[in-house]
Amino acid sequence: MNEELHERIREVVASVPEGTVSTYGDVAARAGASTPRLVGRVLAEDGHDLPWHRILRADGTPAPHLASEQLARLRAEGVAADGGRVDLRRFRWRTQ
């Protein structure tokens, strides 16, 4: 992955507002990445200073190894999860 794409992914993640969520696929599409997996890679390697907790799987669930912390951070921002799943229709960040 080139540095430009890496930085675009970081910028998109950084722009997700508090109290909303986005999916790996949403971020990939906005950043022009070929696959949502690249978003996960950037967050895993260089996402400690980003609001990584606002990025979810396409079904509204958090990454299993981060679920407790991710859901707690989201709850603190007013994002509710029912059964470990966030209602994307309600909380998904929409840009327009």
Asked if residue 96 belongs to a domain, the reply is no
pLDDT digits (tens, 9 = 90+) for 11-45: 999 999 999 999 999 999 999 999 999 999 999 99
Kind and range of the H or E run holding 90 = helix 88-91
Asked if residue 11 belongs to a domain, the reply is yes
CATH code where residue 43 lies: 1.10.10.10
Domain of 40?
Answer: 3-91
Q: Number of folded domains in the chain? A: 1
Asked if residue 34 belongs to a domain, the reply is yes
Kind and range of the H or E run holding 10 = helix 3-15
pLDDT digits (tens, 9 = 90+) for 52-95: 999 999 999 998 999 999 999 999 999 999 999 999 999 999 87
Asked if residue 81 belongs to a domain, the reply is yes
Q: Note the pTM of the prediction, 2 decimals.
A: 0.93
